[in-house]
Amino acid sequence: MLKIADKLFNSRLFTGTGKFQNRQAMTEAIIASDSELVTMALKRVDLYSQDDDILEPLLQQPHINLLPNTSGARDAKEAVYAAQLAREALQTNWLKLEIHPDPKYLLPDPIETLKACEQLAQQGFIVLPYIHADPVLCKHLEEAGAAAVMPLGSPIGSNLGLKTREFLQIIIEQTQVPVVVDAGIGSPSDAALAMELGADAVLVNTAIAVSPNPVAMAIAFKEAVSAGRRAYEAGLGSRSLEAQASSPLTAFLDDM
């Protein structure tokens, strides 16, 4: 099981609520994914209405934990304010911290993110910051009190897969909090690869929401994440460009 802060998760697939064509498609896909942690943009939801199209169906699922995110925040000040509003309205101190002043590629601002993480952790939030795949930043965030780190595989919504693979490996090797690969995962094979590398979880939204069949795609991701994790736990064989003969050339020495 995966543990983040004080919570245990059976599923290592986290999902999102954006980009679906309607509430029903969103609900069915999230349920099919077995995801227990679901993020939603504060800017989209009506925090003070129990009938909100995004919130209402999620609140009906007892196994689902809400992970409000601060998408839209351009600096630490905006993100901290949004987080405080979310905590008050949704009664959760879990937060996906997103600060992207760049509206084109939506790349996260490392300086403002670290600043906000420090403040929010001190205020008792369980902070999961969305960041570039920067190993040193991950260590800083860990020290600042982040409950997990969420490095991107490639630009958000790009479906380009793990373009940051080498850096993700360093992060996984060094970081002492859970690593959730977020953004850019475009296919179940990307998710499986992230899990094989040792990521603790992945967050997938666009690839499921924009699929012509979101439910089938959610199931495909669920199975891929599960297979990838199992492979990681089993231990992958080492790779070599040279053939490893099953009858080694020097085996005769053992007989001498």
Residues engaged in binding another protein (CB under 8 A): 18-23, 25, 42-46, 72-74, 78, 81-82, 85, 101-105, 157-159, 206, 209-210
User: Of the two residues 73 and 201, which places its CB atom closer to another protein in the complex?
Assistant: 73
Cβ atoms of residues 169 and 181 within 8 Å: no
Quote the tokens at residue 191. 């998710």
The residues annotated as belonging to the active site are 96
Does the annotation flag 206 for ligand binding? yes
Cβ proximity to another protein: between 14 and 20 the closer is: 20
Residue 4 CB, nearest distance to another protein (Å)? 26
Q: Give the residue ranges of DSSP H helices in 96-253.
A: 110-122, 135-144, 165-174, 188-197, 206-209, 214-234
Q: Quick one: tokens of 141?
A: 């965030």
Question: How do beta strands 13-16 and 126-131 pair?
Answer: unpaired
Q: Say if residue 50 is exposed, middle or buried (CB neighbours under 10 Å; 0-12, 13-18, 19+).
A: exposed
Is 10 a known ligand-binding residue? no
Instruction: Evaluate whether 23 touches 54 at the Cβ level (below 8 Å).
Output: yes
* Residue 235 is labelled as binding a ligand: no
Which of 43, 230 has the CB closer to another protein?
Answer: 43
Q: By C-beta, is 32 or 40 nearer to another protein? A: 40
CA-nearest of 141, 55, 122 to 91 is 55
Estimate to the nearest angstrom the gap between the alpha carbon of 244 and the chain centroid. Answer: 37
The C-alpha atoms of residue 86 and residue 54 are separated, in whole angstroms, by: 14
Q: Which residues pair with 7 in a beta bridge?
A: 4
Q: Which is nearer to another protein, 27 or 175 (CB)?
A: 27
Residue 205 counted as an annotated binding residue: yes
What is the end-to-end Cα distance of the chain in Å, rounded? 50
Binding site for 1-deoxy-D-xylulose 5-phosphate: residue ranges? 157, 183-184, 205-206
